[in-house]
């Protein structure tokens, strides 16, 4: 139902206007009507009080209805105009509709006026919606045109169904070099290299776009001056509301610099692979030399040490009675030193093997591994009070033999450096981080000065004298080497006479198809 309609009535008989108002009121219209008789009044109302609908008699004494219709079509072409007249022949009625009248109603059939007004208003509303949609479409097309014209990094152009250029943006002109006047109407295959044109690639690209809707392409394109650039883009088939092919949209971008960068990366990768192969060969040669060195250490150096130690003991046995105490201490020092040198050689060989041995990663129970190490170190705890605090430890993925060496060295260190404590405390636990699990072994032993912590994990590096605590300084170097091979980290915290805590991290365990069904028991190897 329409509310508050402004109705302009061109009528010289006031009684007829009353009948019109009565009929519209009876039909439920809410309106305000204004009756005029003259041309000047009619024009004034249109100009200053535009109506929503015009009802006009056909013949007035001083003003003709067709003249009023012509004025209305000029001044307010979208306002419905209905003739309401006493009589109108068929030809006159047809002429009125041809002239732009919305409808006509005979006064003798005034009940038809309500439906005629409703139809006229519906038509006007639909016309307004259509015009609004057309305005929005034109605005959208203009925005699209401005957007396309403003894009300079991409060539954007439109083709007709035959593959000829119809629309050409600024980016296309910049990339290809053709002005819009030079290229419009030309076939787009000119952008392809001659070898591609001979193979029919432009036509195949359009055919593929028609078949699947869009065709992606990457390859060489040709500029106006004949130079080539590496292009990437797509061709999209466009269709009208009936599905008929109306043309193609093409978007292309010059990625020559990216192409050159990718080629350079491939060249560098190839060069890097060659360097890696060369470096691998050098490392393999170094490993062979290391093995030869290890053999030399194991055999060539150990033999003189055995001789020194053996003959020193023989000298002690044969000449002992005639030697003074000072000479005997000298011989004992020689024997002890050769024995310590032997242990250093053994540890050095073990360290060398640790860095070269092939790893076999499986799921390992750290709890079981700690229990096994405790059992092996029972002799170190004889006649001592050692309090253990061992938390639940998660399983990890790693080489059980190598990880056992890590735990053994760290627990053995904790036992060694708590030897002076009447009640030794050793705590073993773990914390879970983002991508790793951190294990710690904490003791209440003699600790060390953190100023020298950087020397802890080096080969032959010791923070305590050999006379105070035995050792060769290889154990912690082994720990760091093994954990590093597992992708983890090692560090320590301590205070002088305040105990020490050693940490190592391992990546979170992930079950794989090669893992056994249960954790490795980590028993003695």
CATH, residue 212: 3.30.450.20
Q: What are residue 446's DSSP bridge partners?
A: none
Asked whether residue 524 is assigned to any structural domain, the reply reads: no
Asked whether residue 140 is assigned to any structural domain, the reply reads: no
Return the biggest CA–CA distance within the chain: 165
Residues 180 and 42 in one domain: no
Residues 364 and 344 in one domain: no
What are phi and psi for residue 300, nearest 5 degrees? -70, -35
Asked whether residue 278 is assigned to any structural domain, the reply reads: yes
Residues 469 and 370 in one domain: yes
Distance CA 353, CA 203 (A): 66
* 3-state helix, strand and coil shares in percent for the chain, rounded to the nearest 5: 50, 20, 25
Element (H, E) at 50: none
Residues 362 and 460 in one domain: yes
Tokens of 368: 């079981």
**Which residue intervals of 3-100 are DSSP H helices?**
14-26, 39-48, 65-75, 90-98
Residues 6+ apart with CB under 8 A from 265: none
- Helices and strands: H and E segment counts in the chain: 15, 17
Residues 236 and 272 in one domain: no
Residues 483 and 380 in one domain: yes
Element (H, E) at 280: helix 256-295
Number of domains into which the chain is organized: 4
Output the domain CATH number for residue 386: 3.30.565.10
Output the domain CATH number for residue 285: 1.10.287
Sign of torsion over alpha carbons 441, 447, 450, 456: negative
Residues 381 and 346 in one domain: no
Q: What are residue 164's DSSP bridge partners?
A: 187
* Listed residues 312, 333, 352: the one ending a domain: 352
Closest CA to 441 of 492, 509, 476, 397: 492
Q: What is the pLDDT of residue 361?
A: 87
* Listed residues 352, 387, 408: the one ending a domain: 352
Beta strands 53-56 and 5-10, pairing class: parallel
Entry pTM = 0.41
Closest CA to 96 of 122, 124, 74, 68: 68
Residues 123 and 191 in one domain: no
Output the domain CATH number for residue 10: 3.40.50.2300
Residues 101 and 213 in one domain: no
Query: Is residue 45 within 8 Å of residue 51, measured between CB atoms?
Result: yes
Asked whether residue 88 is assigned to any structural domain, the reply reads: yes
What do you get for the CA distance between the two ends of the chain, in Å?
96
Query: Is residue 163 within 8 Å of residue 202, measured between CB atoms?
Result: yes
Residues 338 and 404 in one domain: no
Residues 376 and 347 in one domain: no
Asked whether residue 145 is assigned to any structural domain, the reply reads: no
Asked whether residue 523 is assigned to any structural domain, the reply reads: no
What are phi and psi for residue 461, nearest 5 degrees? -95, 125
Residues 420 and 482 in one domain: yes
Asked whether residue 516 is assigned to any structural domain, the reply reads: no
Q: Which domain holds residue 18?
A: 5-131
Asked whether residue 232 is assigned to any structural domain, the reply reads: yes
Tell me the three-class secondary structure of 94-147, residue by residue.
Answer: HHHHHCCCCEEEEHHHHHHHHHHHHHHHHHHHHHHHHHHHHHHHHHHHHHHHHH
Q: What is the pLDDT along the chain (525 residues), one digit of tens a residue?
A: 445 899 999 998 899 999 999 999 999 999 999 999 899 999 999 999 999 999 998 877 778 888 999 999 999 998 999 999 887 777 777 888 888 888 989 888 999 999 999 999 998 888 888 888 777 777 666 666 555 555 567 888 999 999 999 988 888 888 899 998 999 999 999 999 999 999 999 999 999 999 999 999 889 999 999 999 999 989 999 998 888 999 999 999 888 888 888 888 888 888 888 888 888 888 777 766 666 666 666 666 667 777 787 787 888 788 878 888 888 788 888 877 777 676 666 666 665 666 656 778 899 999 999 998 998 888 888 888 999 999 999 999 998 888 988 899 899 889 988 988 889 999 999 998 778 999 999 999 888 878 766 677 755 454 544 545 455 557 788 888 889 888 999 898 988 888 899 999 998 865 444 455 556 554 433
* Listed residues 227, 254, 281: the one ending a domain: 254
């Amino acid at each position: 139902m329409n509310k508050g309609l402004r109705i302009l009535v061109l009528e010289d008989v006031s009684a007829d206007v009353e009948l019109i108002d009565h009929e519209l009121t009876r039909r439920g219209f809410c309106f305000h009507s204004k009756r005029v008789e003259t041309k000047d009044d009619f024009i004034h109302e249109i100009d200053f009080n535009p109506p929503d609908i015009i009802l006009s008699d056909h013949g007035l004494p001083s003003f003709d209805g067709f003249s009023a219709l012509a004025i209305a079509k000029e001044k307010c072409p979208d306002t419905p105009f209905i003739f309401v007249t006493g009589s109108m022949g068929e030809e006159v009625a047809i002429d009125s509709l041809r002239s732009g009248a919305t409808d006509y109603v005979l006064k003798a059939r005034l009940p038809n006026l309500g439906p005629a007004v409703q139809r006229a208003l519906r038509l006007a509303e639909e016309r307004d919606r259509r015009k609004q949609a057309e305005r929005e479409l034109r605005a959208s097309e203009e925005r699209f045109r401005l957007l396309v014209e403003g894009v300079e990094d991409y060539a954007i152009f439109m083709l007709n169904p035959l593959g000829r250029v119809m629309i050409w943006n600024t980016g296309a002109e910049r990339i290809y070099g053709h002005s819009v006047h030079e290229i419009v109407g030309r076939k787009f295959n000119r952008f392809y290299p001659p070898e591609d044109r001979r193979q029919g690639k432009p036509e195949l690209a359009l055919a593929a776009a028609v078949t699947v809707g869009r065709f992606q392409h990457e390859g060489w394109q040709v500029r106006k001056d004949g130079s080539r650039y590496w292009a990437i883009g797509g061709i999209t088939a466009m269709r009208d509301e009936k599905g008929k092919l109306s043309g193609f949209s093409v978007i292309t971008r010059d990625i020559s610099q990216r192409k050159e960068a990718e080629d350079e990366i491939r060249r560098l990768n190839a060069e890097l692979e060659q360097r890696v192969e060369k470096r691998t060969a050098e490392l393999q040669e170094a490993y062979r030399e290391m093995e030869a060195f290890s053999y030399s250490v194991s055999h060539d150096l150990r033999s003189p040490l055995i001789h020194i130690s053996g003959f020193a003991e023989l000298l002690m046995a044969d000449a002992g009675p005639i030697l003074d105490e000072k000479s005997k201490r000298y011989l004992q020092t020689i024997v002890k030193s050769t024995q310590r040198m032997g242990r250093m050689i053994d540890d050095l060989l073990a360290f060398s093997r640790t860095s070269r041995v092939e790893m076999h990663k499986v799921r390992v129970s750290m709890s079981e591994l700690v229990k096994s190490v405790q059992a092996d170190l029972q002799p170190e705890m004889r006649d001592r009070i050692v309090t253990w605090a061992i938390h639940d430890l998660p399983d990890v993925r790693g080489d059980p033999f190598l990880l056992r060496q890590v735990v053994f060295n760290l627990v053995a260190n904790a036992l060694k450096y708590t030897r002076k404590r009447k009640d030794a405390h050793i705590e073993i636990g773990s914390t879970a981080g983002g991508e790793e699990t951190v294990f710690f072994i904490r003791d209440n032993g003699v600790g060390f000065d953190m100023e020298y912590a950087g020397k802890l994990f080096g080969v032959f590096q010791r923070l305590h004298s050999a006379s105070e605590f035995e050792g060769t300084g290889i154990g912690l170097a082994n720990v760091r080497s093994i954990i590093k091979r597992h992708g983890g980290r090692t560090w320590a915290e301590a205070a002088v006479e305040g105990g020490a805590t050693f940490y190592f991290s391992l990546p979170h365990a992930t079950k794989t198809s090669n893992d056994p069904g249960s954790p490795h028991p980590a028993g003695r190897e």
